[in-house]
Amino acid sequence: MNKPVPVRCLLCSYEWAPLGTNLYHQESGCPCCAPNGWRPDRPTVFYYFRLRHETGRKLYKIGITSKSLLERRYYPSDRERMALVRSAQYATGREARAFETFVKRKYRRYLYAGETGFTFKCSEVFVRDVLGWDQR
């Protein structure tokens, strides 16, 4: 069940392949029809954050959003341990998603596994600066 499942939205016909566990446990829906977050047909920001683990270790989070980074819902306790390293604007969410997927696949051996102490899910967190963008 932890494999991609091809899905087509009954409302807008958008096709995507979420993990089966996400569909079942999180009741996730169509990203195009979602009221917030990522949209495949809209301008999208790819973001790269440096995170400070509760032990002091540096971690790096990638992600995409069709909202501005300021509209992302991070709790103050999370934000105080996050720093934006860089962001890049893409004309469409599809382009941003393609880059995000490329990064996750290329650097999968550096994906972090474990608790971080953040309130958000950490499925796109790396144990090193995989993009080489952090000059600190």
Q: What is the pLDDT of residues 97-118, one digit of tens each?
A: 999 999 999 999 999 988 878 8
Average pLDDT score over the chain:
83
* Mean pLDDT to the nearest integer, 10-37: 69
Q: What whole-number distance in Å separates Cα of residue 64 and Cα of residue 66?
A: 7
CA 130 to CA 49: how far, in whole Å? 12
pLDDT at residue 122 above 60? yes
- Rounded CA separation 127/121 (Å): 15
Q: How far is it, in rounded angstroms, from Cα 111 to Cα 123? A: 8
pLDDT of residue 28: 63
pTM confidence score: 0.74
Alpha carbon separation from 44 to 17, 92, 111, 121 (Å, rounded): 19, 6, 23, 20
pLDDT one-digit tens code per residue, 32-77? 666 655 678 889 999 999 999 888 899 999 988 887 776 666 788 8
Q: What percent of the chain has a predicted confidence (pLDDT) above 90?
A: 38
So what's the pLDDT on residue 58? 94
Which class for 61: exposed (0-12), middle (13-18), buried (19 or more C-beta within 10 A)?
A: buried
